[in-house]
Structure formats: structure tokens, C-alpha cells
Amino acid sequence: MKALVVGGGGREHVLVWKVLSSPHVDQVLAAPGNAGIGEVAECAEVEAEDVDGLLRLAEDEKVDLTIVGPEAPLALGIVDRFREAGLKIFGPTKEAAKIESSKVFAKELMAKYGIPTARFEVFDDPNRARDYVRKAGTPIVVKADGLAAGKGSIVCRTLDEAYGAVERIMEEKEFGDAGNLIVVEEMLVGEEASILAITDGEAIKPLLPSQDHKPVYDGDRGPNTGGMGAYAPAPVVTEEVARTVMEGILRPAVEGMAKEGTEYRGVLYAGLMITREGPKVLEFNCRFGDPESQAVLPLFEGDLVEVLEATIEGRLEEAEVRNSQGAAVCVVLASGGYPGKYEKGKVIEGLDELQDMEDVLVFHAGTAKRDGKLVTNGGRVLGVTALGPDIPRAIERAYEAVAKVHFEGMHYRRDIGRKALRHLE
């Protein structure tokens, strides 16, 4: 079998790595891929949002299975196009992907089907939004309706911050047309967690719960990023919480989509806040999380390709989803200045020292090869994942590995996984 993985980040590298472990797979292509992916698979110079180019690539290369990493091509309808051409592809349709590509759609779905989430209002006029914020008070959260690379949700602790968020999104168009509508919602209090579940529209099979670290600095300070690290399993998701998520969130969402005439088939990612009242949804995403997948998928035992094919073919119920008993911690190494402006082309050193480290995996995100050297080529550069029998030892191993890597301006959080330790005392 020949597989194609769409995308070029850390999530796609772990997908390539996992797919290559399947005995059913002979060859993996990635588009566009990155320097790390290029060491184990063939990279094609086709951007993830070039649906026409990807379709030509899949047809020319006689690809048997396509796996879509990022949300943008899903929102553009890549699954619909591939299906029309008779090609096998894993991911939700354009209409189903609205659960991520439109926060308004997702919030209204949750309201209609009784899925617990923050109280919210939707606005298409910045003045009306500011009036509402003034009456509602702070803290409050302002979200762009559309896709904003994980940065369109702004937590505002003062009125000035909230007014500024409305201005940035709706008037300055910081996120383009994604800010034509905004959602203004109450700020939920608790501890965050992520659950990635695979579904064929009927059967739902969750992977291990994880916890992302979105703010750029230790202690959850600073602006939100695409994610500075993750660990799994997240102990805040107890067995009781997991049952509540399945029956009160995942199942109603999948069944609600079906009732709306839109079958959901692919990964349904529930970004959660575990509050005193129980788990509530912060957001739904329509794909594998990044960096969560770099912690969750190394703990996935079995053949991922078989599970993905069973999902596509509507027979997920018979597929086996198994997870190991250990833990994984992924620390993201980012360029200096990220998530703001940053420079590219910094030489990366030390990765050769990690090759001999047991239970350490390196997933490339923003990397490239220049003049024979590995250099930075993005905001999030590398994800260093360590496995261990438990979270404390996986944390220790991860930072032992991180200490061996260097590039100019390298920045990373030093507290990935620390929240888990409170639950383990």
C-alpha cells in the first residue's frame, strides 16, 4: 500500500512514523513534509491547501490511502474532492469540518444538543460586541469564528483587553475573514484536557486523554500559540470524567451531526475544561491535535492504518484501539519570538546525540535542509517526545533530551507535564 500524509508539521511527522510501522504500508509520501519527514518518506512540493495539486499527486502516484493532518485542507473540502474521484481518504467532509472551521457553527450545535460549554453570544458588529462585553464584564473570552492557526481565542482579563480583542479580530482583521463573526463567551475555570476520538459516524473510540500547553511561557503566561507541548495520559481525566465526556459530549456531538444531515467521519478532537460542574467543551477540532498527537500516538499500540481504513469504510466497531500503560511527554522547541515574528535559517545542532537515547523520539515541524545543514523553518521547530513508565520519569527523560539540542534563539517551556504531578501525589 502507498499512503499520502498531507501537511508538514510535527503532527504529520508522527503520522508518517506511525503509518510506516504498519505491515500494510510499503511507501509513504508527504506533501509538503519537512526535513525530518524527508529522512523516512518521500516529500512532494505540494502545499497542504493546494487541493487540486494534492488530488493530481494522489492520482499520479496511485496513492491507496490519504491521511489529512491540518484543518485548512479539510475546511477546503479535500475529503469531498478525493471521494468524488474515487480515492480513499481519512478525515471529515467540508460540511462536517465546520465543527472546527466555524466556532459559531460548533457553539450552536452544542446549544441545540445540550453539550456542556461556556455561555456565549455571537456578533457581526464590533460596536454591539463591545456593548455586550461592557455589560457582561471580565474575565471573558473573544474568539474569531473561523480558522486562525490556534491563535484566534483571546482570554481578556480587563475591559481594555476585551475591547482590544474585538478591534484586532473584527476591525484590524488580524485573522482575515475568520474574524467577520466573533463569539464572546464566559471564561471557564478549571483544568484543560484534550480527548481525540476516532469515529465513523456511529462507533466512537477515544485515544488516551492528553493535555496541551498553549500559552508561550511557563505558568501559562503570555499569548496563545499552536501548542508548546503536551503529555498523555492526563490524570485530570479520571475514568468518571472519561465516561461523562463519552456520553455527554462525544456521542451527542456525533449523533447531533448525523441528525443535521452531516455524518462525521474522522478524528473528533474535544478541547475540554474540567470544571467543578464537570467537563465542558472549549472547542471542537476536526483533526489530530498538534502537539497532542506527538504524545498520544506513540502510546497507541496496534496498526493505525487498519483503524483509519475501518473508519473510512464504516466498520470502526470491529477495529481494535489499544494504548500502552506508560506515559509520554512532548516538549516543543520554538524559534525565538514565536508566536510573533521570528527568524528562519538557524542551524540546529545536537540531534545526533538523541539518536542513541532510548525512549526518545524527535518529530520535526518547522525544519528544512540548507547547504547540507538542518535549519529552522518555522515557529514551532521540533517536538521532543520521551516515553516512560509514568509521567514524572517521562518528564525527566524529555528534558534530558531537550538539553542536548540547540539553535540560536531556541525557546521552550520548562513546565510541560507539571500540572499532572498534582494529581499523582
Q: Return the minimum-mean-pLDDT range out of 88-102, 149-163, 241-255.
A: 149-163
CA–CA separation, 355 vs 20, rounded Å?
18
Task: Mark out the alpha helices in 137-263 (DSSP H runs).
Answer: 159-166, 239-245, 251-259
Q: How many other CB atoms are found less than 10 A from the CB of residue 134?
A: 12
- Domain residue spans of the chain: 2-93, 125-180, 191-323, 327-424
What are the residues facing 322 on neighbouring strands? 301
- Phi and psi torsions of 56, nearest 5°: -60, -45
Q: Which fold has domain 2-93?
A: Rossmann fold (3.40.50)
Looking at this protein, which amino acid is placed at residue 152? G
What single DSSP character describes residue 250?
I
The reported pLDDT for the residue numbered 311 is 98
Superfamily of domain 327-424: Phosphoribosylglycinamide synthetase, C-terminal domain (3.90.600.10)
The reported pLDDT for the residue numbered 148 is 85
Give the residue with greater pLDDT, 275 vs 355. Answer: 275
The reported pLDDT for the residue numbered 409 is 97
CATH of 191-323, one of 3.90.170.10, 3.40.50.1260, 3.30.470.20, 3.20.20.60: 3.30.470.20
Band of pLDDT at residue 149, cut at 50, 70 and 90:
confident
C-alpha cell of residue 309: 481504513
The reported pLDDT for the residue numbered 224 is 85
Band of pLDDT at residue 348, cut at 50, 70 and 90:
very high
CA–CA separation, 248 vs 270, rounded Å?
12
CA–CA separation, 291 vs 229, rounded Å?
6
pLDDT at 264 over 80: yes
CA–CA separation, 28 vs 40, rounded Å?
8
Mean pLDDT throughout 350-379? 96
Band of pLDDT at residue 254, cut at 50, 70 and 90:
very high
Q: Which fold has domain 125-180?
A: Dna Ligase; domain 1 (3.30.1490)
